[in-house]
């Protein structure tokens, strides 16, 4: 089926603006009166916004036009919240737009009407961009799906947030357009799934979801308020939707026929293929009413598909008639379809009752563009004008930012001090961690180099000591001579003893004698030290090989038993240094984000909301939980899951572990709640508890189990074995482990690893965000990958987690 020609996609016409207007006709006077600025000084800004409108209403169908329209839409929101431009206000402007279908003129003095028309055109251009894709390559399929999702989000926002100013804004019609675009997004996903040869059960889910969307779109299109609109376009839509209903119901039957064939249910497969052919033939009766320019495209796809299914039907029917002889049941008698009947309205007086054999799976949801993204909105044209309440809110937010930054810096400084104290206790600086004990230290080599450059160092040292000794002897002789003269003078003159100056002279001489004795001792010690130093200088003057032999080595560090310990210490030291650098980098990045975080535009666009709520939302935006907080939450959940899984004799399988089911009790502990989805598994002697044994998984049991899973569990947390039940993989306690892996990923990165993509879940394909890969430890990232193991046998149990 992967080579099948693509059915054409439905796209929507753009609305037209009837007349050119001046958005800023009354704005300069308002600026002068309310902003204490000269309104005439804002002529450039007024010209910019008017030029932007002209470009927006005269756009073509391409990416640059979408960017222009989105920028104008964002600027309109800023304009509305800066100036009073609602009906009967000071700056209101008269807008006139043509109805997209009936071509009637609609005029309102309300800037929100202008916003609604621009938003409609954004959705319409996205529908055309998606329809223009060939959908023959992976890239084209991806682009088509993305365009349809963006378009659906525009019409959805238009329906939910704006007044139905005209008939083309009727909620039922907008809902119909949303359903059509989402169906076409799923068509692109189905085409890619067929091209990638995904399991038939996945293709059946996707085809069924397309069928459900087209059914809802057709129901809305047939409502009296819409059906009364006389438009050729709507008649073409009804014909196309009617055919696509039959076509994708046929694809659903075809996929289920392949599943039945794989399960050796040959009678059922014949039934499915036969009904697939009938649905295609019924659909083509309506497709003949399609406009002539598209008839050949539909005919090519119809012919290709019916040839594929007919060829398969003939082979299966021949094998069953000649080999297996199984009874071919009626479609309504199959146990998987009993009670699952939907009514599809095809025409006013005709209804088609369709047996649904499998539920659809939503994999492509509306994707809205972000008006707060600078790349989308562009620079604020009137950014110089800030209302006082917005200015106060921004000032309050700035103070909150500064407070948060101070808290983070203080926390980092405290942790740095703790780390420094811990590292000092280890005294790693005293242990050579890099095999330094096996080579000469750098300080020693520097000393050797110095000695080599001064070969007379020893001789100079001996010469200096000799000079010192000579001076010492000279001073000693002078003191002795002076003592003799003083003694002789005292003997010859008895009266001098009572002379005060003579007594002071004797005291000074005694002090000098004591100092000389001390100097003599120091001189002796100095000689001893010099003798040692001269020996060291001789050693340092030796060649390096001989010098190395004279030095002691740390034999303990060269011991084989200590090498592993040294390696651990070396790794610890490297990790600490890496952590310091990462911590500093994170702080710098955080500081830069804080400084660059200007929320003036954000607050202005949401001026009607409580600014406290806005500030708290913006303050916590983008600030991840730290690893300690995550481990604290996750440890409590592990304890709760462990109590459930180790309950004997029947363990409890929760089945719906998710962030929304975690509460905080009065002791600030995290509690797992909502056991409405939980089941008790049967006892097992092998400790391999399963909800059902493989031989018990009949088609009826699978359908019941699928209904339970759809009703009681959340898609983004489901394990692969809960997605494709027809593979008959066992439902064990390890589905909770998978959900815990998704929960841990959500706590770390504030997003889901697989989103709501069934294909991604079944493949187990997810990535760690590049900008967050260094925020958490390698072990925590490994734990996520460990729990999100697609192979049940390799996935851990709760004890291993």
Burial of 654 (0-12, 13-18, 19+ CB in 10 A): buried
Torsional class of 7: left (φ above 0), alpha (ψ -120 to 50), beta (otherwise): beta
What was the pLDDT predicted at 637? 92
CA 108 – CA 165 distance, rounded (Å): 8
Yes or no: say if 6 and 136 are a contact pair by the CB < 8 Å rule.
yes
- For residue 480, the tally of other CB atoms under 10 A from its CB is 11
What was the pLDDT predicted at 229? 66
Banded pLDDT at 353 (limits 50, 70, 90): very low
Q: Which residues contact 722 (CB under 8 A, 6 or more apart)?
A: 709, 713, 731, 735
For range 47-62, the mean pLDDT: 93
∠ Cα 164 168 172 (to 5°) = 75
For range 291-317, the mean pLDDT: 89
What was the pLDDT predicted at 573? 83
Looking at per-residue pLDDT, the higher value among 66 and 521 belongs to 66
Side-chain half-sphere CA neighbours of 329 within 13 A = 15
- Whether the per-residue pLDDT at 95 is higher than 90: the answer is yes
Side-chain half-sphere CA neighbours of 242 within 13 A = 25
- Whether the per-residue pLDDT at 595 is higher than 50: the answer is yes
pLDDT tens digits, one per residue of 122-158: 999 999 999 999 999 999 999 999 999 999 999 999 9
CA 406 – CA 399 distance, rounded (Å): 11
**DSSP track, 391-436:** HHHHHHHHHHHHHHHHHHHHHHHHHHHHHHHHHHHHTGGGS-TTSG
Q: Which two tokens stand for residue 280?
A: 């295609």
For range 643-652, the mean pLDDT: 86
CA 740 – CA 162 distance, rounded (Å): 40
**Nearest Cα to Cα of residue 245 among 212, 204, 206, 289:** 212
For range 681-685, the mean pLDDT: 72
Torsional class of 593: left (φ above 0), alpha (ψ -120 to 50), beta (otherwise): alpha
Looking at per-residue pLDDT, the higher value among 246 and 339 belongs to 246
Q: What integer best gives the mean pLDDT of the chain?
A: 83
CA 311 – CA 82 distance, rounded (Å): 66
pLDDT tens digits, one per residue of 685-711: 555 666 666 566 677 777 778 878 887
DSSP state of 87: T
Yes or no: say if 748 and 772 are a contact pair by the CB < 8 Å rule.
yes
Q: Identify the CATH number of the domain defined by range 16-355.
A: 1.25.40.280
- Whether the per-residue pLDDT at 75 is higher than 90: the answer is yes
What was the pLDDT predicted at 439? 60
Looking at per-residue pLDDT, the higher value among 544 and 206 belongs to 206
- Whether the per-residue pLDDT at 436 is higher than 80: the answer is no
- For residue 530, the tally of other CB atoms under 10 A from its CB is 16
pLDDT tens digits, one per residue of 183-236: 999 999 999 999 988 888 889 889 999 999 999 999 888 887 776 665 678 888
Question: What are the extents of the domains in the chain?
Answer: 16-355, 388-435+566-620, 442-550, 627-787
Q: What's this model's pTM, rounded to 2 decimal places? A: 0.65
343 bridge partner residues: 353
Banded pLDDT at 669 (limits 50, 70, 90): confident
CA 186 – CA 207 distance, rounded (Å): 8
| β pairing state of 652-653 and 670-672 | unpaired
CA 707 – CA 728 distance, rounded (Å): 15
- For residue 662, the tally of other CB atoms under 10 A from its CB is 18
For range 666-679, the mean pLDDT: 82
C-alpha separations of 672 from 213, 340, 713 in Å: 35, 35, 15
Looking at per-residue pLDDT, the higher value among 279 and 447 belongs to 279
Banded pLDDT at 438 (limits 50, 70, 90): low
Yes or no: say if 775 and 624 are a contact pair by the CB < 8 Å rule.
yes
CA 256 – CA 140 distance, rounded (Å): 28
What was the pLDDT predicted at 46? 93
What was the pLDDT predicted at 689? 63
Which overall architecture, per CATH, does domain 627-787 show? Orthogonal Bundle (1.10)
Q: Hey, CA dihedral for 441, 445, 450, 454, is it positive or negative?
A: positive
Q: Is the peptide bond before 404 cis (omega within 30 degrees of 0)?
A: no
- Whether the per-residue pLDDT at 788 is higher than 70: the answer is yes
At 202, which helix (H) or strand (E)? helix 200-221
Q: What share of the chain is helix, strand, coil (3-state, %, to 5)?
A: 65, 5, 30
- Whether the per-residue pLDDT at 342 is higher than 50: the answer is no
Burial of 755 (0-12, 13-18, 19+ CB in 10 A): middle
First to last CA, the chain: 43
Q: Which residues contact 629 (CB under 8 A, 6 or more apart)?
A: none
- What is the percent of the chain where pLDDT is above 90? 34
CA 52 – CA 45 distance, rounded (Å): 11
Lowest mean pLDDT among 106-120, 375-389, 700-714: 700-714
Chain centroid to Cα 220, Å, comes to: 37
Banded pLDDT at 490 (limits 50, 70, 90): confident
672 bridge partner residues: 662
- Whether the per-residue pLDDT at 468 is higher than 60: the answer is yes
Lowest mean pLDDT among 90-99, 245-254, 501-510: 501-510
At 652, which helix (H) or strand (E)? strand 652-653
- For residue 509, the tally of other CB atoms under 10 A from its CB is 14
What was the pLDDT predicted at 236? 86
For range 327-354, the mean pLDDT: 52
Yes or no: say if 764 and 790 are a contact pair by the CB < 8 Å rule.
yes
CA dihedral 691, 693, 698, 700 (to 10 degrees): -10
- For residue 282, the tally of other CB atoms under 10 A from its CB is 18
Q: Which residues contact 584 (CB under 8 A, 6 or more apart)?
A: none
């Amino acid at each position: 089926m992967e080579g099948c020609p693509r059915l054409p996609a439905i796209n929507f016409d753009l609305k037209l603006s009837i007349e050119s207007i001046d958005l800023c006709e009354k704005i300069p006077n308002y600026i002068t009166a309310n902003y204490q600025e000269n309104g005439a000084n804002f002529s450039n800004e007024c010209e910019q916004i008017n030029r932007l409108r002209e470009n927006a209403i005269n756009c073509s169908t391409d990416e640059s036009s979408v960017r222009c329209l989105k920028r104008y839409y964002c600027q309109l929101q800023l304009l509305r919240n800066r100036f009073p431009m609602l009906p009967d206000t000071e700056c209101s402007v008269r807008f006139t737009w043509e109805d997209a279908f009936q071509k009637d003129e609609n005029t309102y003095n309300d800037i929100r009407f202008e916003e609604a028309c621009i938003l409609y055109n954004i959705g319409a251009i996205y529908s055309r961009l998606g329809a223009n894709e060939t959908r023959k390559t992976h890239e084209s399929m991806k682009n088509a799906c993305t365009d349809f999702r963006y378009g659906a989000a525009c019409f959805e926002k238009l329906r939910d947030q704006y007044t139905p100013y005209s008939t083309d804004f009727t909620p039922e019609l907008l809902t119909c357009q949303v359903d059509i675009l989402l169906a076409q997004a799923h068509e692109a996903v189905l085409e890619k799934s067929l091209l990638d040869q995904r399991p038939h059960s996945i293709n059946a889910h996707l085809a069924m979801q397309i069928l459900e969307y087209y059914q809802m779109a057709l129901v809305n299109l047939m409502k009296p308020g819409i059906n009364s609109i006389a438009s050729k376009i709507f008649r073409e839509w009804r014909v196309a939707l009617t055919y696509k209903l039959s076509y994708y119901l046929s694809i659903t039957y075809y996929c289920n026929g392949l599943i039945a064939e794989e399960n050796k249910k040959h009678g059922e497969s014949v039934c499915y293929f036969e009904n697939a052919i009938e649905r295609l033939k019924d659909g083509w009766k309506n497709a003949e009413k399609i406009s002539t320019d598209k008839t050949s495209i539909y005919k090519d796809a119809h012919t290709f598909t019916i040839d594929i299914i007919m060829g398969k039907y003939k082979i299966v029917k021949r094998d069953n008639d000649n080999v297996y002889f199984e009874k071919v049941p009626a479609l309504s008698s199959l146990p998987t379809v009993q009670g699952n009947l939907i009514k599809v309205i095809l025409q006013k007086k005709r209804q088609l009752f369709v047996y649904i054999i499998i539920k659809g799976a939503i994999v492509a949801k509306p994707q809205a563009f972000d008006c707060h993204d600078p790349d989308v909105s562009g620079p604020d044209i009137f950014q110089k004008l800030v209302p006082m309440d917005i200015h106060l809110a921004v000032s309050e937010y700035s103070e909150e930012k500064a407070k948060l930054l101070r808290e983070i810096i203080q926390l980092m400084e405290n942790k740095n001090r703790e780390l420094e104290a811990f590292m000092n206790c280890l005294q790693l600086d005293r242990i050579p961690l890099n095999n330094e004990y096996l080579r000469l230290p750098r300080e020693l080599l520097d000393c050797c180099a110095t000695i080599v450059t001064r070969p007379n160092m020893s001789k100079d040292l001996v010469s200096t000591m000799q000079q010192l000794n000579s001076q010492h002897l000279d001073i000693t002789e002078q003191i002795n001579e002076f003592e003799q003269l003083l003694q002789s003078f005292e003997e010859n003159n008895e009266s001098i003893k009572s002379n005060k100056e003579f007594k002071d002279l004797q005291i000074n001489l005694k002090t000098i004698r004591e100092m000389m004795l001390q100097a003599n001792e120091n001189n002796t010690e100095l000689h001893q030290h010099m003798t040692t130093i001269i020996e060291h200088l001789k050693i340092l003057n030796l060649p390096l090989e001989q010098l190395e032999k004279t030095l002691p080595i740390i034999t303990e560090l060269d011991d084989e038993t200590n090498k592993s310990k040294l390696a651990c210490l070396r790794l610890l030291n490297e990790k600490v240094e890496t952590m310091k650098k990462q911590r500093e980098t994170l702080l710098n990045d955080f500081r830069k984000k804080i400084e660059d975080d200007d929320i003036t535009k954000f607050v202005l666009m949401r001026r009607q909301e409580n600014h406290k709520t806005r500030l708290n939302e913006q303050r916590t935006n983008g600030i991840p939980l730290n690893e300690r907080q995550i481990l604290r939450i996750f440890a409590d959940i592990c304890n709760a899951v462990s109590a459930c899984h180790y309950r004997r004799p029947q363990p409890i399988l929760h089945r719906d572990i998710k962030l929304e089911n975690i509460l905080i009790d009065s002791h600030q502990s995290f509690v797992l709640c909502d056991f409405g989805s939980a089941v008790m598994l049967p006892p097992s002697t092998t400790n391999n508890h399963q909800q059902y044994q493989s031989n018990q998984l009949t088609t009826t049991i699978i359908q019941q189990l699928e209904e339970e899973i759809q009703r009681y569990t959340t898609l983004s947390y489901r394990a692969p074995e809960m997605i494709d039940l027809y593979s008959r993989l066992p439902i064990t306690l390890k589905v909770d482990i998978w959900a815990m892996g998704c929960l841990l990923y959500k706590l770390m990165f504030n997003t889901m690893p697989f989103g709501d993509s069934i294909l991604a879940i079944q493949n187990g394909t997810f990535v760690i965000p590049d900008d967050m890969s260094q925020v958490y430890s390698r072990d925590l990232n490994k734990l996520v990958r460990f729990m999100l193991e697609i192979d049940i046998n390799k996935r851990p149990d709760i004890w291993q987690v």
